[in-house]
Amino acid sequence: MDYKLAVRDNHPEDTIIEIPGQAGITRIGKGYCTIIAGPCAVESREKYLEIAVQVKNMGAHILRGGAFKPRTSPYSFAGLGREGLKILEEAREITGLPVITELMDVRELDQILRYSDIIQIGSRNMQNYSLLREVGRVRKPVMIKRGLSATIEEWLLAAEYVLCEGNGEVILCERGIRTFEVMTRNTVDIAAVALLKDLSHLPVIVDPSHATGQRNLVGPVARAAIAAGADGLMIEVHQNPQEALSDGPQSLTPELFLDVLDHLKDLAALNHRKWGQAQ
Ligand code: PEP
Ligand code: MN
């Protein structure tokens, strides 16, 4: 198969990504349980800084927040753009945590490189091959979310595009796929997590928020993901989900997030995982 750089054959040791920050080095990969948390989108400076400090104090390791949002409808809130990136930068300074945000268009690459510690390639762009090649040429970790209807092979080949351009720091993120089932937003593929941890040396994380679309399912799926071998999770948290500009129904309140983390810490310890950050 053509995903030769992504598999263990030529790279038996696990890739562990290290992100230096003011609060120490954050690691993503085997042996760790790393939590990425924050709202779907950066909505305002006040709201973002507040939630960033809250999730940090609760135990999150990396902050998320979209500044350039891919929206199904052209009339929906599409993020604050560069202003959103600056808010992320401020949150990084205040909390000392690294940040991740989505790159939608190669024209925004320079801005994202300046403000973000990890580049997120969203599901809708998983097969945007020119974008993948561009992020393959930079020195910054890239998290590739699984395409809406992508097979595991297509997903690995997307990772291969980045790897073969010279960027070895790739993280795979399972976020559910489209199936005939409509009672959940997507269908989470837990077997893909176990399969990829076996086949590939790359870190695998799971996004139980987009995978389910429902806040009450986030905790159970998060636990299933870690039990199946995922190296971390990406979870949407909003201080007032009813008023969120995107993805309110799947966003946890800070209280619920704390509860989910409590269970996860026990599970991580049981599985001999370090809790994301190690000095
Ligand atoms: C996101 O994580 O902000 C997002 C848009 O998710 P996905 O690309 O998985 O739909
Ligand atoms: Mn979202």
For the chain, state the CA radius of gyration: 17
pLDDT of residue 279: 41
Angle between helices 215-227 and 254-270 (to 10 degrees): 10
pLDDT of residue 244: 98
How many angstroms separate the alpha carbon of residue 41 from the centre of ligand 2? 7
Q: What is the DSSP letter of 14?
A: P
The answer, yes or no, to whether residue 3 has pLDDT greater than 60, is: yes
pLDDT classification of 277: cutoffs 50, 70, 90:
low
Averaged pLDDT score across all residues of the chain = 97
Each residue's pLDDT tens digit, 37-86: 999 999 999 999 999 999 999 999 999 999 999 999 999 999 999 999 99
| SS3 sequence of 227-248 | HCCCCEEEEEECCCHHHCCCCH
Report if residue 111 sits inside a domain: yes
pLDDT of residue 248: 98
Q: Which of 188, 182, 239 is nearest to 209 (CA)?
A: 188
**Pairing label, strands 277-278, 24-28:** antiparallel
Record the tokens describing residue 250, joined without a space.
Answer: 């799947």
Report if residue 273 sits inside a domain: no
Report if residue 201 sits inside a domain: yes
pLDDT of residue 112: 98
Record the tokens describing residue 37, joined without a space.
Answer: 């948390």
Question: Who lines ligand 1 at CB under 6 A?
Answer: 40, 66, 70, 102, 122-123, 145, 175, 210
Q: Give the pTM.
A: 0.98
pLDDT of residue 10: 85
Which CATH number does the domain housing residue 47 bear? 3.20.20.70
Each residue's pLDDT tens digit, 264-275: 999 999 989 999
Number of domains in the chain: 1
- Placement of tokens 């966003």 in the chain: 251
Q: What percent of the chain has pLDDT over 90?
A: 95
How many angstroms separate the alpha carbon of residue 234 from the centre of ligand 2? 10
Nearest CA to ligand 1 atom 10: 123
How many angstroms separate the alpha carbon of residue 210 from the centre of ligand 1? 7
Domain span holding position 203: 8-70+77-264
pLDDT of residue 23: 79
Is residue 262 within 8 A of residue 58, CB to CB? The reply is no
Q: Which atom of ligand 1 is nearest to the CA of 145?
A: 9
Each residue's pLDDT tens digit, 211-268: 999 999 999 999 999 999 999 999 999 999 999 999 999 999 999 999 999 999 999 9
Q: What are phi and psi of 142, to 5 degrees?
A: -125, 125
Contacts of 189 (CB under 8 A, 6+ apart): 146, 152, 174, 176, 177
Record the tokens describing residue 102, joined without a space.
Answer: 């989505």
SS3 22: coil
Residue type, 274: K
The neighbourhood of ligand 2, an ion, using CB within 5 A, equals 40, 247
Nearest CA to ligand 1 atom 6: 122
How many angstroms separate the alpha carbon of residue 232 from the centre of ligand 2? 17
Report if residue 24 sits inside a domain: yes
How many angstroms separate the alpha carbon of residue 130 from the centre of ligand 2? 24
Helices (H) and strands (E) in the chain, counts: 9, 11
How many angstroms separate the alpha carbon of residue 250 from the centre of ligand 1? 12
Give strand pairing partners of 171. 143
Q: Which atom of ligand 1 is nearest to the CA of 120?
A: 2
171, 184, 186, 207: residue to mutate for ligand 1 pocket, most atoms within 8 A of CB: 207
Q: Which of 129-133, 198-202, 238-242, 266-270 is predicted least confidently? A: 266-270
Segment holding 28, helix H or strand E: strand 24-28
Report if residue 110 sits inside a domain: yes
Report if residue 154 sits inside a domain: yes
Contacts of 278 (CB under 8 A, 6+ apart): 24, 25, 27, 32
Nearest CA to ligand 1 atom 4: 122
Residue type, 198: D
Report if residue 165 sits inside a domain: yes
Spatial separation of the C-alpha atoms in residues 126 and 114, rounded to whole Å: 22
Spatial separation of the C-alpha atoms in residues 16 and 32, rounded to whole Å: 9
Report if residue 275 sits inside a domain: no
